[in-house]
A and B are shown apart, each in its own frame.
Chain A
């Protein structure tokens, strides 16, 4: 099965939950599971599992098309038909000539259709890379979007597809997807077709608002959704109400604990770095539930 970890707001602890769950399932529970880092604009999952890793396989994804203007043909200020056609604000007039703003260009070909002199062509550009890493004994597929690139949704799709292939080749049964913050295209791509989702939320107004947005999405997509409350002691009263607010089963709560930062600094999951810490104790209970009820059922 495919389980995705989401949040809405950034920094609530998605990667924290993903890395500890991956470690627990593989090393404690004997439930071999592949990790998939779908936060392609800021991929960090392997950094939380160990300070060194081996790269097993990488491939590049070329799915971005960009417009290019041949200025020897372009009629310039007497035409500018392309400018009003672009729905993505990817064409601007500079010194009387249309200029492509590369990061805004979708490569949809609308501008070339209205260009009367055939001055607009397209070229293919690198969207990003997908790699399979091994950190200790844990396999992680990670996507890395080219800096400033669009199409993160396409790349997320490739990451998940490759993770499922790896999972099958290794004869594993499960994939855990660590999604990006937000509710946009890359997160939608992370959610499409998964079996279950866990929302990681912190009890702050910003955290709740983000979680509600992503919950709306999982409802819309009919995905069985659980909740983990991170740093619950920031506001215990609010934490207790989160399950009702989000209309989802709460798997457990993790307190704020300095041991978590120390574990990050040492590039290890907190249940490895400091298994007796307050956070680890709470976390281990939740991980047991994930292993034997969420993954199992």
Chain B
């Protein structure tokens, strides 16, 4: 079963919920925690003693122009969708690397076979082990790379390849409602929307929910994190109740802040706390069939 944890806004607690949910589920089943927040992967900070199993670079295409074959027909320059190739008289065709999306169109249209493949690293994917029943797969974007969405899709497809080794995939999504997030939701069985009781959290949660309803997701549940901070708790309750969306309250408490500061799962920092209890409630909901 694939569970995507998202919510639109940054800092509402997606990673906190996803990591602790994965940890909680791993007491019963085999779990792969997938960190798809490739611009800022931080699940592994919570599991410092995790050990790397493998790590590989993700390469993207870059053209290298073989001047001895190039007849300067300019097909590549004209067809490049990003305008990343320019013709400099007497110097030939030059690549503006920062504009190149790595689509490969130039190589396909060149009639003289003058374009060769050279690679650029857009990021890395790494599998690591936390404990017997919990592994982490995380994607990490190379600094300055524009391939965020593609790296999310690469990380997801790597996760799907090994999915049969696990009972649950818990995917920690980046903030936002764009294409990379849509790609993950398309492949998920359940979406867990994490939000916080502020107008900002609410607004982004709505946008995120609109995204999930575009796909035939069987199960949607919500987490109102930082419950009790004195924001717009009631508005969120009304919103989810009206839509028949099962929601969980995770209280704002010093225990959660402590877990965050010390970068340890809440199960280890404060096993008896209200926060841990509320996460166990979500774990049980999922193990018991997620309300199906």
Residues of A within 8 A of B (CB): 7-12, 15, 41-42, 44, 47-48, 65, 85, 87-89, 101, 103-104, 106-110, 113-114, 145, 147-150, 152-153, 180-185, 187-188, 204-206, 209-210, 213, 216-217, 220, 234-235, 258, 261-262, 264-265, 267
Contact string against A for B residues 22-60, beta-carbon threshold 8 Å, 1 for contact and 0 otherwise: 000000000000000011101001000000000000001
Question: Is A107 a contact of B104 with CB atoms below 8 Å?
Answer: no
- Which of these binds chain A: B127-135, B197-205, B239-247? B197-205
Chain A residues within 8 Å of B157, by CB: 89
Asked if B146 CB lies within 8 Å of chain A CBs, one says yes
**Closest partner residue, chain B, to A114 (CB atom):** B108
A148-B144 contact in complex given A41-B176, A42-B204, A87-B61, C-beta closer than 8 Å: no
Chain B residues within 8 Å of A216, by CB: 143
Question: Is B179 a contact of A9 with CB atoms below 8 Å?
Answer: no
Residues of B within 8 A of A (CB): 8-12, 15, 38-40, 42, 45, 60-61, 79, 81, 101-105, 108-109, 141, 143-150, 153-154, 157, 174-179, 181-183, 186, 197-200, 203-204, 207, 210-211, 214, 229-232, 257, 260-261, 263
Question: Is A220 a contact of B143 with CB atoms below 8 Å?
Answer: yes
Question: Is B229 a contact of A213 with CB atoms below 8 Å?
Answer: no
Partner of B105, one of A8, A48, A109, A235: A109
Chain B residues within 8 Å of A65, by CB: 81
Question: Is A89 a contact of B108 with CB atoms below 8 Å?
Answer: no
Chain B residues within 8 Å of A205, by CB: 42, 45, 263
Partner of B103, one of A87, A149, A180: A87
Chain B residues within 8 Å of A85, by CB: 104, 108
Question: Is B175 a contact of A41 with CB atoms below 8 Å?
Answer: yes
Question: Is B10 a contact of A42 with CB atoms below 8 Å?
Answer: yes
Q: For the complex, give the distance between the alpha carbons of A295 and B37 in Å.
A: 33
Question: Is A110 a contact of B40 with CB atoms below 8 Å?
Answer: no
Known: A88-B153, A220-B144, A258-B229. 13 other contacts (CB 8 A): A8-B40, A12-B11, A89-B154, A103-B186, A104-B153, A109-B105, A110-B104, A145-B178, A183-B141, A184-B146, A205-B42, A206-B260, A264-B199
Question: Is A42 a contact of B207 with CB atoms below 8 Å?
Answer: yes
Q: For the complex, give the distance between the alpha carbons of A147 and B179 in Å.
A: 8
Partner of B39, one of A147, A150, A181, A261: A181
Question: Is B105 a contact of A206 with CB atoms below 8 Å?
Answer: no
Question: Is B146 a contact of A265 with CB atoms below 8 Å?
Answer: no
- Counting chain A CB atoms within 10 Å of each CB, the highest count among B61, B144, B174, B176 belongs to B176
A182-B214 contact in complex given A87-B103, A110-B105, A265-B232, C-beta closer than 8 Å: no
A206-B178 contact in complex given A42-B10, A101-B183, C-beta closer than 8 Å: no
Q: For the complex, give the distance between the alpha carbons of A113 and B108 in Å.
A: 7
- In the assembled complex, how far is the CB of residue B187 from the closest CB belonging to chain A, in whole angstroms? 10
Chain A residues within 8 Å of B39, by CB: 8, 181-184, 187, 213
**Closest partner residue, chain A, to B43 (CB atom):** A206
Q: For the complex, give the distance between the alpha carbons of A41 and B9 in Å.
A: 9
Chain B residues within 8 Å of A106, by CB: 81, 101, 103
A217-B143 contact in complex given A44-B203, A88-B150, A101-B183, C-beta closer than 8 Å: yes
- In the assembled complex, how far is the CB of residue B181 from the closest CB belonging to chain A, in whole angstroms? 8
Chain A residues within 8 Å of B42, by CB: 9, 205-206, 209-210
Question: Is A103 a contact of B230 with CB atoms below 8 Å?
Answer: no
Partner of B199, one of A11, A183, A188, A265: A265
**Closest partner residue, chain A, to B233 (CB atom):** A265
Q: For the complex, give the distance between the alpha carbons of A47 and B202 in Å.
A: 11
Chain B residues within 8 Å of A11, by CB: 9-12, 175
Question: Is B11 a contact of A264 with CB atoms below 8 Å?
Answer: no
Q: For the complex, give the distance between the alpha carbons of A7 and B42 in Å.
A: 14
Question: Is A149 a contact of B200 with CB atoms below 8 Å?
Answer: no
Question: Is A147 a contact of B40 with CB atoms below 8 Å?
Answer: no
Q: For the complex, give the distance between the alpha carbons of A181 and B154 in Å.
A: 21
Chain B residues within 8 Å of A184, by CB: 38-39, 141, 145-146, 148
Question: Is B261 a contact of A235 with CB atoms below 8 Å?
Answer: yes
- Counting chain B CB atoms within 10 Å of each CB, the highest count among A148, A153, A187 belongs to A148
A47-B203 contact in complex given A106-B103, A183-B40, A217-B144, C-beta closer than 8 Å: yes
A89-B153 contact in complex given A8-B40, A10-B40, A182-B39, C-beta closer than 8 Å: yes
Closest 8 CB pairs of A and B: A11-B11, A10-B10, A182-B39, A41-B176, A184-B148, A108-B103, A148-B182, A150-B179
